[in-house]
Structure formats: structure tokens, C-alpha cells
Amino acid sequence: MRGVLTPERNTSVTPAAGPLHGLLVADFSRVLAGPFAAMMLADLGARVIKVERPGNGDDSRGYGPFLDGRSLYFARVNRGKESVALDLRVPADAAVARGLAARADVLVENYRPGVMDRLGLGPVVLLDRNPGLVYCSISGFGHTGPWAQRPAYDAVVQGMSGIMAITGRERAAGEAGGRAEVKPGIPVADLAAGLYAFGAITSALLGRAATGRGTHLDIAMYDASVSLLEGAALSWLATGTDPGPIGNAHFTIAPFDTFRCRDRDITICAANDELFAALAVALGRPGLVADARFVGNAARHEARDELKAELEAVLRTADAEHWLDRLDLAGIPSGPISSVAEALGSEQTRVRRMVVDAGGLPVPGNPVKADGYDDPTHRPAAPALDEHGAAVRAEFAQGLDRAAAAHG
């Protein structure tokens, strides 16, 4: 990847002209969920000032992988931000933080519930001083409920939300241990919370435009993860039976799974009768359509193991490329099981600008494409710790006094 992107560090943090240009975001969050939400705001033009603890800053500055001594983990979710190091327990630094919050349009934080209140930066205090503020709190389990004070990381929430229990497969006969619970290969809970926070923030900004008032948003990683259970949740709600893991199959649709060809697996999703009929013809097995076991989706799902065996008996006779060409011609949703290298190196990824340069580091791009706004392949770098500290302190140290006077 280093040969694809020009390794030049751009330390400027002037926001790209985007739909959020002119907004000021105070980012008190760290690691992933909060920084990810704030990065999306920065990518769309907002000015984001990241408040970090002095010394080591955000924990993720120490997370790999590293390239040229810099953390790609940190760079990926903090590109285009400014950094100021503040000890929120020190009066002078706390005054800067309050000054920033008094003038911000959005504040993002992901401390455990109650921490920001104890620091004098809770939503009640700040919304009183800055009624238009959109204050977004992201936490493991939210600000209410019996689990509100539980510490959480992504894997903890995945386990408690049910996601881990439905990922993977049941162990085959003869294997020890019953279920083989598996964590998905990406931090689903963190990223889902970040995306919900991003959507909630932009929605609240629309509400503010209509009413003039901000709000406090309470986003929980747990809630976000539970909301993603989709078919598994609906299955339990309908039947009261725990669905358990079903591998790569779908909880209610068949055929909707991975299937073995002669050389590798592919994915086939024939989610209605018309697509199933086209699939049967493309595989040279039109008789499957009239087979009583497979008439209608409900029957196909009930007999999905038998159906998979019938389909794989044909698919195993040729390589994946042969079948994918035929399925594409037939208009059947299908595709290879790509490696990460194949996905990031694809022409589709290049054209969609889903790998960009952030100050000389290759990182995933922004999936939001908006007509009339640039989607640059080169983004501003993630900041060094306290890189903009002097300027931010000078700008916001007196902000609270001015805002308090205006409010009075």
C-alpha cells in the first residue's frame, strides 16, 4: 500500500468544504466509538478539536499497526482534527475546556456516565451555558439501567448483546464443547455506536435549526449492538426459541449462504422465488423449482441443508470464476469471498476512494459521497499530541467568560 499513496505529511487542518463546514466540534472522546463519530463530522467539513490528556494522549496512539512510527489505528479515526492536551482536573485547563464547550456546536464524549458531571462538563451545566449545544455521550451501556456503570470494551458488549452467540456455527457431531461462539472480525459494537452517534448528531443539528435548542444524546454500544441482531432478534421475538449460530446462512431466507465451488467458496443470495428460479436455471437444475422441498422461501429455509447439498453438488464441478460469470449474467446476487488484500486492492475500492492518504498514512476513506462536495484522496493528517495546544488555549481560554456574559 505504501507505493499506492504519496508519503507526504500534511499538517494543515483546514476543513474540506463539506456540508458541515462552519460547525465547531469539541471531541472529548478516545479510542474508537467517539473518535469515529467525530471523524465523520470532520470528513464532512466540521472543525473538530480533540481534547486529550497530557502525557500519552488518547490510548489509541499506542495501538498498532504502526507505519513510520505512527499508529494507523489512531490516524484512521482522528484525521483532520486539532489536538489540545488538557488536564481537566487543573483549573486553568478546565477553563479552556469550558470555553471550548461554550462555543461549540457539538460535543462528543465517551467517559463512563457521571465522569463529565464531576469534571463540571456534564450536559446539564453545559446546555445551560450553551443552549444550542448538541451534547453526545457514548458509553458501553448508556446513562440509565442497572448496567450503566459497567466498564466496557467492544468484545464485552458483543458478548453481552447476543452478537457473539449468533456468530459462527454449531459444532458438528463429534466435536467437543457445544457452540463455538465467535467474535466478528471487526469491532461491531464500537463502530455501530459511532455510526448511530453520527446520525443522531446530524439529526439533532436539524432539530436545532428548527427550534434553536440543542439536546443531550445518550448512545450506548449495547443498544447499538442489540439493534443489529436483526433476523436473530426477530426469530426469538416470534418464536421464543434462541436461534443460536447458523454459520453464513440467513435466519429466514434460503438460499442465502456461502457455497463451495471446486476451488473456493462463493456467496449466493437468492432472496425470492424469481431469483431462485433463475439460479436453478443457471446451474442447470431447473427441476429444483418444482421440488416440493423448495417451493416457496419458507420451505427452502426449512430444508436449507438439503438445498445447500443440491446446489453444491453442481457448484463443485467447476471453479468459482466459471459460476460467478454465469450467475452474474443471470442477475443473481453473488460474489467471491475476498481477502482483505483483494477488497482494499480492488478497482471498486480505488474508484470509490475508499482508501485515502491521511498525512502520508493509508487509511479507509469516507463512504458518504455527496454531489457538490469534494471527496479528496488526500486528507489532513491526524494531529500530534497537543499540536494545536497553544492556538486552542489562546482562542478559547476566555470563551467561557464571554459566553457567560452574553448568557447573563
Range name among 47-56, 66-75, 234-243 with the lowest pLDDT average: 234-243
Which pLDDT band holds residue 392 (cuts at 50, 70, 90)? very high
Q: What does the pLDDT average to over 2-21?
A: 52
The yes-or-no verdict on residue 169 having pLDDT over 80 is no
CA distance 112 to 143: 8
Higher pLDDT, 6 or 260: 260
Q: What does the pLDDT average to over 225-252?
A: 91
Q: Which residues share a beta bridge with 268?
A: 257, 334
pLDDT number for residue 177: 56
pLDDT number for residue 246: 87
Amino acid type, 354: M
Q: What does the pLDDT average to over 324-332?
A: 97
Topology alike, domains 24-228+353-407 and 265-336: no
pLDDT number for residue 243: 87
Higher pLDDT, 405 or 26: 26
Which pLDDT band holds residue 6 (cuts at 50, 70, 90)? very low
pLDDT number for residue 408: 41
Percent of the chain with pLDDT over 90: 85
Which pLDDT band holds residue 179 (cuts at 50, 70, 90)? low
CB atoms within 10 A of CB 276: 22
Amino acid type, 334: S
CATH code reported for the domain at 24-228+353-407? 3.40.50.10540
Which pLDDT band holds residue 406 (cuts at 50, 70, 90)? very low
The yes-or-no verdict on residue 171 having pLDDT over 90 is no
Which pLDDT band holds residue 14 (cuts at 50, 70, 90)? low
CA distance 47 to 336: 40
Distance of CA 377 to the CA centre of its chain: 20
CA distance 155 to 340: 21
CB atoms within 10 A of CB 390: 10
pLDDT number for residue 403: 45
Q: Looking at 229-319, list the stretches that DSSP marks H as alpha helix, in order from N- to C-terminal side.
A: 230-239, 273-282, 297-302, 304-315
The yes-or-no verdict on residue 7 having pLDDT over 70 is no
CA distance 103 to 151: 31
Q: What percentage of the chain's residues is helix, strand, coil (to nearest 5)? A: 40, 15, 45
pLDDT number for residue 259: 98
pLDDT number for residue 13: 55
Q: Domain coordinates of the chain in residue numbers?
A: 24-228+353-407, 265-336
Which pLDDT band holds residue 174 (cuts at 50, 70, 90)? low
For the record, the C-alpha cell of 309 comes out as 447439498
Average pLDDT, the chain: 91
- What is the architecture of the domain spanning 265-336? 2-Layer Sandwich (3.30)
For 24-62, give one letter per residue: b (16+ CB within 10 A) or e.
bbbbbbbbbbbbbbbbbbbbbbbbbbbbbbeeebbebbe
Tell me the pTM. Answer: 0.89
Which pLDDT band holds residue 244 (cuts at 50, 70, 90)? confident
Phi-psi region of 380 (alpha: psi -120 to 50; beta: other; left: phi over 0): beta
For the record, the C-alpha cell of 335 comes out as 460474489
Q: What does the pLDDT average to over 43-56?
A: 96
Range name among 1-10, 284-293, 302-311 with the lowest pLDDT average: 1-10
Task: Provide the annotated active-site residues.
Answer: 250
For residue 363, give the H/E element and its range: strand 361-364
- Residues with Cβ < 8 Å from 172, sequence gap 6 or more? none
For residues 348, 352, 358 and 363, what is the CA-based torsion angle, rounded to 10 degrees? -40
Which pLDDT band holds residue 142 (cuts at 50, 70, 90)? very high
Query: SS3 of 74, please?
Result: helix
Listed residue (358, 349, 278) closest to 74, CA to CA: 358
